[in-house]
Amino acid sequence: MRAWLSNLLIELKLIFRDRQTLLLTYLFPLFFLFLFSTVFGRGESKTVTALLPGMLCISAMASGFFGLSIGLVAARERGILRRYKIAPINPSLLISSQLVTHFLISLSTLILQIALAHLFYGITIAGSYANLFLMLSVGVLAFLSLGFVLASVAESVKVAFVAANLFFFPLMFLGGAALPKSMLSPTLQTISGLLPSTYLVEGLSQVIVNGEGLSNIVVPLVVLLLTFAASLLIAARLFRWETFERLSWSQKSLAAAIVFIFVVAAIVT
């Protein structure tokens, strides 16, 4: 426990010393907030409120795909993770401390966005703040765990950056974060039902715009929790301390099996 807490504090200090991480974690989401609110929302309170779930989803995805994954791959490339390998630290301890660190940072970013949207555009939250906090927390955890999977398989920072974009933009446009799902073709709407971003946007919309209670956001919560659990299991199985380590067929097979089960569950849901 002492090693876990020590690593958690160190990770927090490192994040606040890293200008690139702070840029991606704080300035990038705020840029999207003011851009979307001004251009698409025209500064109107009601319109900005309707856009807010998508903007919060974009921020959560950016934290996982860019903030966490690229930082972890960079640490592996620079040989920082190799030093942990000889210490009494296992992958689960490192992953969990990283997860909590980025969870706290990401959640603070989302809360800041909501506060600024209320201050500058007068948005109102129709539902319970407790349900909003729960929905945000589960969504952030889901995308952070996906970021861990990305970091586990990426060979370099360049590869991680390209892969992050390949995940980020389809999830943003097909999941309803940047465009309403009604604008998509029936085929693309069916595909969007398999994407975690869809469920985060829908869950946040139910709380923020419609004021729905906990019973009406159960499905998005369950899907995002399944995403979190499956992705974290895959990340722990594929975790590598050093860049030159290769993934075994058993590791790849387990990851493929978990993804298959998750896709089937999403289709059934």
| Among 9, 69, 59, CA closest to 32 | 59
Q: With a cut of 70, say whether residue 257 has pLDDT above it.
A: no
Q: Most confidently modeled of 31-40, 127-136, 187-196, 224-233?
A: 127-136
CB 63 within 8 A of CB 105: yes
CB 117 within 8 A of CB 44: no
More confident residue, 15 or 168: 168
Q: What is the pLDDT of residue 5?
A: 72
- Round to whole Å and give the CA distance between 23 and 32: 13
pLDDT, residue 43, reads 84
Q: Is the pLDDT of residue 254 over 60?
A: no
Report which of 101, 125, 81, 70 is spatially closest to residue 6, judged by C-alpha positions: 101
Query: Which pLDDT tens digit goes with each residue over 19-66?
Result: 766 676 777 788 878 888 888 888 899 999 999 999 999 999 988 888
pLDDT at 265 over 60: no
Tell which wins on pLDDT, 115 or 81.
115
User: What pLDDT, on the 0 to 100 scale, is given for residue 53?
Assistant: 93
Given a cut of 80, is residue 250 above it in pLDDT?
no
Put simply, whether the predicted model's pTM sits higher than 0.75 gets the answer yes
Mean pLDDT of the chain: 81
Instruction: Express each pLDDT in 157-168 by its tens digit.
Output: 888 888 888 888
Q: What sign does the CA torsion over 230, 84, 7, 19 have?
A: negative
